Amino acid sequence: MSRLKVALLGAAGYTGAELIRLIDLHPELELVYVGARENAGQTLGNVIPALEGVRGLSQMVLESFDEGDAEKLRDRVDVAFTALPHAASARLGGALYDAGIQVLDLSADFRLRDLGTYETWYGPHPRPDLLAQAVYGLPELYAKQLEGARLIACPGCYPTSAILPLVPLLRAGLVTLDHPIIVDSKSGVSGAGRKPGAAYHLPEAAEGMRPYKVAGTHRHTPEIEQEISVAAGRALSVLFTPQLAPMSRGILTNVYASARAGLKAKDCLEAARSVLDSDLITILPEGRLPDTLHVRGSGRAQIGYAVDERTGLVLGMCTIDNLARGASAQAICALNLSRGWQLSTGVPRIAQFP
């Protein structure tokens, strides 16, 4: 039986490179087209040094792509991943969708269901007509909706790490909502993308930590709020603080909420196990804490809980690899479910250790 033919737009970035690695591991996928903007005309081996000498990939040439090329790909590919900046991803991904190609978008363009919310945070939407068609690609929460989905909005890395520990608490009514929920996240520098910048230069990033886009100004804020509001059945807001950590990959997110009277950590763990039943999520036993090293390079998430009786707060903790579970591996998982395959097909279940 032939494998699905895959196109990847935005192949030269970190997310694109991770997707190439995972597509190569997948028994049902074959990468046949790679597109890029600045790097068009170069080979993959030149742009992604890890691919140098890899037969079948190293000499693939990155092609430029615009909306008019979508029809030309109709007979060449079955599915396309778009790892492009917002707006560009919707425009080009929309053209591929119109051409009958399944699209998995790794930008924010189809994550927010409300057009007004999107335009508040990102500006005019190139394809608002497609918002209602998109399925949010967090596999453990939207498995049924992903079956047969043709347009999948792959979640952001920070939102994934916040939504996973919060949704079980909210669905089970284990927290009170009279105080704001706090989301505190530390991310590796690769989350900022591959384009060089002073803030990501080794001497400035390797031995310090810094918050950025604080006090509700980070664009992932509405995505977190959207999904936890669905879980709670009412509109919720969060105080989200992202921070840059001196590591290349990984996210550690701690979420804080007011605990229901008498709540114990075991109640949180039971709720998480009932909601997040997955080959790729580890619910750690009480007293064990997540570690970014223990998920590095894998599609796995680690989740733990603790209750502070003194302050009345519950702490949910989550670690993921921002490039894998936070982006590319999660996109593969969503594709798997959309095609009726096992969730973890082609996705590394074991982290690189050490």
Q: Take residue 54 and report the two structure tokens written for it.
A: 């890899």
Active-site residue, from 154, 157, 318, 333: 157
DSSP states of 6-72 as a string? EEEESTTSHHHHHHHHHHHH-TTEEEEEEE-STTTTSBHHHHSGGGTT-TTTTTPBPB---GGGHHH
Cα separation, 37 vs 27, in Å, equals: 29
**CA triplet 57, 9, 147: central angle to 5 degrees?**
100
Written as one letter, the residue type at 352 is: Q
User: Measured between alpha carbons, how far is 67 from 353 in angstroms, rounded to an integer?
Assistant: 42
Instruction: Give the count of alpha carbons within 13 A of 303, CB side only.
Output: 30
Task: State yes or no: is 333 an active-site residue.
Answer: no
Alpha carbon 211 to its chain centroid, in Å, reads: 20
* Alpha-carbon gap, residue 60 to 198, rounded angstroms: 31
Whether the link from the prior residue into 27 is cis, omega within 30° of 0, is no
Amino acid at 312: G
Crossing angle (nearest 10°) for helices 14-25 and 329-338: 50
- Could you give the CA distance from residue 102 to residue 214 in angstroms, rounded to a whole number? 36
Are 330 and 137 in contact by the 8 Å Cβ rule? The answer is yes
d(CA 88, CA 214): 26
Q: Regarding beta strands 238-244 and 175-176, do their DSSP bridges make them parallel or antiparallel, or are they unpaired?
A: unpaired
In contact, 252 and 290? CB cutoff 8 Å = yes
What is the distance between the alpha carbons of residues 126 and 128, in angstroms, rounded to a whole number?
A: 6
Known catalytic residues?
157
